[in-house]
Amino acid sequence: MSVDELWETTDVVICGCGPTGALLSAYLGRMGVHNIVLEREPEITTDPRGIALDDDGIRFLQGLGLYDAVYTKIGTCMGKFKFIGGTTSDMHTRPIFDMDHNTTTGVTGHVGMIGHKQPVLESQIRSALSSSFCSLRCNSAVVQIDEDEEWTYCTYHDSDGEHRLRGRFFVGADGKTGYTRKQYLEARGIKLEKFHEAFYEETWVALNWRITIPTPRSHPSFPLWKAGYSPEQVYDLFFPPEFRFLCNPERPAVCGRFGLPTDRLWRFEYLIQKDEDGYAMAEPEAMRGIVYPYITHSGSRYKLAEDVQFPEDCIEVLRCRPFTFSSRTCNMWAKGRVILCGDAAHVFPPFGGQGIASGFRDAISLSWRLAMLCRYQPTDNNHHQILKAWYEERKQQLALSLATTVANGRMVCETDPLKIFLRDWYIWLIQLIPSWRKQLQRGHRKDALLRYKHSNGMPFIPDLNGGLYLPQVYCRTTTGEILFTDDTIYSPNSKSLFRLFVYLQDSSDLSSIQNTLQDIETWSRGEFNRTTIPIIVENTTTTEPPNEPNIFQIATAEEFSNSPLCNNRPKPLDYDPFLLRNQVQGRYVIVRMDRIIFASCMDEKELQKATQSMLDYLHADVVSTSKL
């Protein structure tokens, strides 16, 4: 019996179908890469674990065609984050400052953060798996991994017994305690290490509640009915819509709603002190002593003699258990043909909503590289350098996210009275300057535009503005339909792993652009098609507006607000329609599938040079890596 008969064969095997593994599979499928996902659990876990997803994460869901589901099925904009100081248990205390995630001041065209229900998020991503290229196998546990220079070999068990699977690459997206790292790669030198630049490790209890709103009929003796409050007002009073970071030095905590408004889900997390046992502090009596003061209001607020507690029988505890949160990353994310992704490669504290988003960034940046290796270089052994450059690139962004997350956590968890005094005075002082106050409130989103620092083998040309995270704005078609610019650049009709678009300030330059692109199919060996390259224009000054399907004009915030894309989400505040032009700094822009600029070119000569470098990288041609 031949090897082919013994082993089922595919391009990529993915272990784990959480958010990271599912997103990786979906993007591989869109690029025409056959992949099989092995998931140990028979069904999606119903427990909502991660609850926050940033604007990058929303953008990557958009890239799978899931934007319509973001605000109708997955979640809701988290609005303002309020940072509340002192030892009070009053969630309505005036905050030290707040951070507004309703705004569109970042670089993606999306709101800053949504509160999502993870089981629905995972279900939606799974719905985007291609039936032609993706195979999800649940209730399948990996029990052995092997590899040689050309293949990885995996043995897994399901209800039908033992199966053998062979793939060009094996990706472990099975979490920090999963089989891939713990049972296979750790013995080969890969370790989950402390993130020394900003290390954090503490135990917290995380609880999820489902709330039922009391009514005068269900709770006739509830005292606030006589004060004129409606059931919805009572819900908002005790479970306010804005997320709270409770900077209480006695016991720091974080709380707020997540999921759709109709889900009525509430998360509360509280710190476990060094001398406490996490499991004991998660018991109902201990939990009540910590959490219930926050849902008990002073009677004086309502001119009542007695305090008012939200009805306990309107609270369903979905989960209450301890977790150890830490900031750690693996020394290497790939060894041979076996790769780590998401929580298997790094773990985050819960202060910045970066856990799932970072796994998404891993997945989309890995997906096109694996597609390239499988499509263009199936018999080469160039994968070592490509995968090393991948995770070294990703570690740059990861360091920024971890540092910001840990800084947020330290601010929330500070216990030293002097440091708390200095923190509060510093925050008060900088808010006296309007520009600084605005920057604080918007969370430095636009100022933190990612730019990778180039090193050997990284696929971008730094001298041509390569390595910059591509901003996204709004545009409209010649028929008036409003789109995101990603929807024009990353059309699913093309399978190219690099995309080219043109940016013009004025439509009068269209004729010269068409001349430059006339031979682009020859230059690019068919990677680019002249008739489908999107041309994004700021102003149309010709008497007859161009009537070509690949020409798009920058749209205003008002146009976006009046379009279906703005349904169920806040209108775009602080939107900059010129952000794309100001950042890409070129007419002809070659971008990677992970929304990173490969090269931004001003003229035909630079475009030819960049296109050749792109082809050299795709085909592993002999080329000096200093050119990339």
What is the per-residue pLDDT across 433-486, written as a single tens digit (0 to 9) for each? 887 777 777 665 544 578 999 998 999 999 999 999 999 999 999 899 999 999
Whether 457 and 395 map to the same domain: the answer is no
625 assigned to some structural domain: no
Amino acid at 109: G
Is the domain of 457 the same as that of 539? yes
Residue 246 lies in a domain: no
Residue after which a domain boundary falls, among 343, 378, 402 = 402
Per-residue tokens: 254: 């974080």
Q: How far is CA 52 from each of CA 57, 113, 268, 525, rounded to the nearest angstrom?
A: 10, 7, 13, 42
- Could you tell me if 458 and 582 lie in one domain? yes
Domain closes at, from 402, 428, 460:
402
Alpha helices in 332-490 (DSSP H): 355-375, 383-413, 417-430, 434-441, 485-489
Instruction: Tell me the CATH number at 591.
Output: 3.40.30
The answer on 591 and 456 residing in a single domain is: yes
Residues paired with residue 267 on neighbouring β-strands, in sequence order: 208, 256
Cα-based distances in Å from 495 to 27, 373, 591, 618: 11, 14, 14, 13
Two structure tokens written together for 168:
């060009």
The pLDDT value given to residue 433: 81
* 614 lies in the same domain as 486: yes
Tokens coding 470: 């591509």
* CATH number reported for the structural domain that contains residue 173 in this entry: 3.50.50.60
Return the pLDDT at 625.
40
Residue 249 falls inside a structural domain: no
Q: Would you tell me the crossing angle of helices 355-375 and 55-62 to the nearest 10 degrees? A: 40
Report pLDDT for 552.
Answer: 95
Amino acid making up residue 429 = L
**Which of 457-461, 509-513, 603-607 bottoms out in mean pLDDT, i.e. has the lowest?**
509-513
Residue 289 lies in a domain: no
Q: Per the domain annotation, does 484 fall within a domain?
A: yes
Q: In the chain, how many H helices and how many E strands?
A: 19, 30
Q: Are residues 377 and 481 in the same domain?
A: no
Rounded-to-integer distance, Cα 202 and Cα 413, Å? 10
Mean pLDDT of the chain: 90
Contact 206, 279 (CB under 8 A): no
Query: In this structure, are strands 535-539 and 498-506 parallel, antiparallel, or unpaired?
Result: parallel
Domain annotation covers residue 281: no
Within-domain flag for 526: yes
As a whole number, mean pLDDT of residues 102-109 equals 75
Q: 84: which residues sit within 8 A by CB, 6+ positions away? A: 91, 93, 94, 95, 96, 244, 245, 246, 247, 248
How far apart CA 354 and CA 367 sit, in angstroms, is 20
DSSP string, 22-70: HHHHHHHHHTT--EEEE-SSSS---S----EEEHHHHHHHHTTT-HHHI
- Whether the per-residue pLDDT at 627 is higher than 60: the answer is no
Judgement on whether residues 397 and 510 belong to the same structural domain of the protein: no
Average pLDDT (100-118) is 82
Count: domains in the chain: 2
pLDDT, tens only, 180-219: 999 999 999 999 888 766 667 789 999 999 999 999 999 9
For range 517-524, the mean pLDDT: 90
What residue has token string 């070659």?
590
Antiparallel, parallel or unpaired: β 97-100 and 80-85? antiparallel
What is residue 197's predicted lDDT score, i.e. its pLDDT? 63
Res. 339 pLDDT band, cuts 50 70 90: very high
Residues 495, 601: one domain?
Answer: yes
Task: Write the Ramachandran bin of 111: left for phi over 0, alpha for psi from -120 to 50, otherwise beta.
Answer: beta
Name which of 109, 134, 158 is nearest 28 in CA terms.
Answer: 134
Q: Is residue 259 part of a domain?
A: no
Q: Is the pLDDT of residue 623 over 70?
A: no
Helix axis angle, 19-30 relative to 118-127, nearest 10°? 20
The neighbouring-strand residues paired with 164 are 155
β 161-172/338-340 pair status? parallel
Q: Measured between alpha carbons, how far is 134 from 137 in angstroms, rounded to an integer?
A: 10
Q: Which domain holds residue 467?
A: 449-619
Rounded mean pLDDT, 138-146: 97
Q: The tokens 């909502």 sit on which residue?
A: 48
- Considering the domain architecture, whether residues 364 and 510 belong to the same structural domain is answered as no
Residues 49 and 141 in one domain: yes
Same domain, 392 and 457: no
pLDDT of residue 198: 62
Helix (H, G, I), strand (E, B) or coil at 299: helix
Instruction: Examine the pLDDT at 350 and tell me if it is beyond 80.
Output: no
CA torsion, ordered 447, 453, 454, 455, to nearest 10 deg: -160
Q: Are residue 453 and residue 537 in the same domain, yes or no?
A: yes
